[in-house]
Structure 1
Amino acid sequence: MSPGQEPAFRNIPFHLMLTLASLTIIVSGLRAAEALIIPILLSIFIAVICASPVHWLYRRGMNSYAAVLITLLILGGLLALFGTLLGNSVAMFMERWPQMQQELQGHYLSLLEWLAHQGMSVSPRELSSMIDDSQDQGWISAFLSGLGVVLSQSLVILLMVNFMLFETLDFRQKVARALANPGPSLERFTEFSYNLKRYMAVKTVVSLITGALVTLAAWLVGVEFALLWGALAFILNYIPNIGSVIAAVPPVLLTLSMPDGGMVKALTLSGAYLAINFVIGNLVEPRVMGRTMGLSTLVAFLSLVVWGWILGPVGMLLSVPLTMTLKIALDSHPETRWIAKMLGPSERRQRRLRKTQRALDELEDELDS
């Protein structure tokens, strides 16, 4: 090693410690400012989704005020209708929750007896700790209270979305005026904003389709609160791989506890969830989204844990959009593109997606002919 390289080599531990200390300070600041950051992040993602229709109306000759106003009125009307219907379902579900817990406890005790007949010894005390009512109620209350805080700030969020949408209409001009050589920066910004808007729009539409299909499946099977389970599937579909599993657990358990339910209906509903998520997650979404817009399973899970720890339940819902935003930003710059590839899906999964897409293309060609 040359003398000139030795000081730089010795500085590596110092730079590493400085980076870790900076990350610790940033994470601590994010946790402390959770009440401020969550509405801002939600406003940003809602503005990203609404930017495309606003720009479409603006390009059709409508002035900026009318384009933003029409988009926000449609968004507010849909959210008000959705919130009213969902609020009634949540209230009815929470009223029925204690009774459902007792019925589920009876099923667990029946399972305990069956295991005892099979020669497997399970302690009733251990079983009771597994189905502790207070723990379940505490988890549900914490999750609903986190979402309730967001709903209580809906007016502030809509105001921030309104101002952000106005900013998006002339943001490119501001960047061009601010930089001496705006060409490369504008090109990277255009690529980043296009990919981010495309990801959020496609993910939202796919999640809406998933929620609608889950609502229909729950209604056909005869499960109560079908709209609630569809809304849960829509929200948790932003979390790939494990979000659909989490969304399926409550309605399947409810089906087991229903007087006219049982194992057959629970298995039928589970099969419907598997079919919907297989078709949407493996056939529809990769085809529409593109292979470059995915995350590896490990990265998705780690982002869920980290953002959930930092920002609570809302952070869990925003974990993958936040990580995808980081990935898209890294992918838009040549020097950091390798990091984006490390965050993406494995080569084996990409080959499987390419094979599936080729099969779908061949099927479309046969149908057209």
Structure 2
Amino acid sequence: MSDRAGVPPASAGLTRGMLITLGVSLAVITIAGVKEIASILAPTLLALVLAVAVQPLARVLRRHRWPGWLATTITILAAWGILAALALSVAYCGVKFAALIPQYSDDFSSLVKDVQDWMKSAGVGSDQASNITSKLDPSKLAGFVASLLSAVLSAASNLFLIGALLLFFVADGTGFAARLSGLRPQRPQVVVALESFAHGTRQYLVVTTVFGLIVAVIDTGVLWVMDVPEPILWGLLAFITNYIPNIGFVIGLVPPAILALLDSGVDKMIAVIVAYCLINVVIQTFIQPRVIGDTVGMSASLTFVSLIFWAWVLGPLGALLAIPVSLLAKALLIDVDPAAQWVRPLVSGSDELQSPLPGEDSAKNDDAGTDDAADGAPGKRAKPRHAGA
């Protein structure tokens, strides 16, 4: 029996290939189940992320001797305000763009005629050119772009459900930190993982907001210099779409590029596209993902894969929540399991074999050799001071 010491009985008769096949099969079943309940799960996750984001406000208010009920009420109102601002901003951008397009119907007709002439000069028959350009209708274009801009809004259409979930999540979050402290002696890995998720989510939102403001200001200034209609509106859209990793700027580019085309021609549209690519690709595709990766412990390639995966599983809201949901999955599947710690460098893209959890490195530096080292019993993990649940 000694030669089989340490081998789990359940896996004694399974080869490594069978275990991998079984694991993949269970993962596929789980993903299919998550996709089936996406209409409920996505709003729930949005409410959870908003609740995590506003919890520091409640702590600050209670620290300044505000009554607990008043601090909780103000925090709930702040979360509702963020949700309402997001929904109304997206709706306003879509409606405003749909209202602007009909004003350029004559310019659109002239543009269609120029396209027909170009196609004829390229050897396309008159009938074929007419059939192709007849499908170009400004009203259809406005409807398509408006529906594209309101995709996130339609996914969050059940505002009553999200608002109710926020009410309970924020209220329960008031005492969640104390409950985690009580759980720490028995399950320190679980506590550190949940604290890591909360800390990483807030850091991600802060970094994304800062970069969004930078992009919005630059885009607004460039569009104003180019004399594109409604530059402030498209700057607001650029700020909102910045929360969609990597490809959000493409959605924000569509309306100003089309308006530049209708208002001033192809040259202006190309100038807008080039300007957006230079500004947004450099900031949102190269700089921002690297900063986010260093902040939350996820590689740039993983953030892009997360965007595609969660948008497919959860719908439009999945694109908005890709990073926070990936952080939650990482906390529940990797950070809580000491045997899975070897995966963390692969996920974060770090060269270190044992990269610390967010907030854990500073805790180790601050409390090395102190009583906190003893509190983290298994593995002597230091208690993070900067990662509130």
| TM, length-normalised to structure 1 | 0.72
Which residue number corresponds to residue 305 of structure 1? Answer: 308
The structure number with the bigger radius of gyration is 2
Residues 1:206 and 2:211 are matched in the alignment: yes
Which residue number corresponds to residue 272 of structure 2? Answer: 269
2:311 maps to amino acid: G
Instruction: Please tell me whether the aligned partners of residues 51 and 79 of structure 2 are also in contact (alpha carbons under 8 angstroms).
Output: no
Q: 2:13 and 2:141 mapped to 1: Cα distance?
A: 52
Residues 332 and 64 (structure 1), Cα distance of their counterparts in 2 relative to 1, 3 Å cut: farther
Residues 1:32 and 2:42 are matched in the alignment: no
Q: 1:141 and 1:287 mapped to 2: Cα distance?
A: 31
Q: How many Å apart are 1:257 and its aligned residue?
A: 1.1
Offset from partner CA, 1:22-49 (integer Å, 9 cap, x none): 2232222222222211210110111122
| Aligned mate of 1:250, from 234, 248, 255 | 255
Which residue number corresponds to residue 356 of structure 1? Answer: none
Structure 1's unaligned 5+ residue stretches are: 348-369
Which residue number corresponds to residue 55 of structure 1? Answer: 59
1:252 maps to amino acid: A
1:195 maps to amino acid: G
Offset from partner CA, 1:93-124 (integer Å, 9 cap, x none): 2234466688557546635755775x687974
SS of the residue 1:307 aligns to: helix
Q: 2:247 and 2:334 mapped to 1: Cα distance?
A: 25
Higher helix fraction: Structure 1 or Structure 2? 1
Instruction: Please tell me whether the aligned partners of residues 39 and 157 of structure 1 are also in contact (alpha carbons under 8 angstroms).
Output: yes
Offset from partner CA, 1:299-353 (integer Å, 9 cap, x none): 3343333222222222222223323443466674554344343334588xxxxxx
1:238 maps to amino acid: Y
| Aligned mate of 1:44, from 23, 28, 48 | 48
Percent identical residues: 28
Q: 1:121 and 1:156 mapped to 2: Cα distance?
A: 54
Instruction: Please tell me whether the aligned partners of residues 72 and 162 of structure 1 are also in contact (alpha carbons under 8 angstroms).
Output: yes
Question: Where do 1:219-368 residues align within 5 Å?
Answer: 219-258=224-263, 261-277=264-280, 280-281=283-284, 285=288, 289=292, 291-293=294-296, 295-327=298-330, 332=335, 335-344=339-348
Residues 80 and 282 (structure 1), Cα distance of their counterparts in 2 relative to 1, 3 Å cut: closer
Instruction: Please tell me whether the aligned partners of residues 64 and 166 of structure 1 are also in contact (alpha carbons under 8 angstroms).
Output: no
Q: How many Å apart are 1:140 and its aligned residue?
A: 4.2
Q: 1:156 and 1:61 mapped to 2: Cα distance?
A: 32
Q: 1:127 and 1:343 mapped to 2: Cα distance?
A: 47
Residues 1:194 and 2:207 are matched in the alignment: no
1:73 maps to amino acid: L
Structure 2's unaligned 5+ residue stretches are: 352-389
Residues 9 and 112 (structure 1), Cα distance of their counterparts in 2 relative to 1, 3 Å cut: farther
Instruction: Please tell me whether the aligned partners of residues 58 and 71 of structure 2 are also in contact (alpha carbons under 8 angstroms).
Output: yes
SS of the residue 2:66 aligns to: coil
2:69 maps to amino acid: Y
Residues 1:165 and 2:196 are matched in the alignment: no
Which residue number corresponds to residue 73 of structure 1? Answer: 77
Q: 2:277 and 2:286 mapped to 1: Cα distance?
A: 13
Q: 1:149 and 1:125 mapped to 2: Cα distance?
A: 35
Residues 130 and 302 (structure 1), Cα distance of their counterparts in 2 relative to 1, 3 Å cut: farther
Deviates more, 1:96-105 or 1:211-220: 96-105
Which residue number corresponds to residue 364 of structure 1? Answer: none
Q: How many residues align?
A: 341
Question: Where do 1:1-150 residues align within 5 Å?
Answer: 8=12, 10-77=14-81, 80=84, 87-97=91-101, 103=107, 107=111, 110=114, 113-114=117-118, 124=129, 128=133, 140=145, 143=148, 146-150=151-155
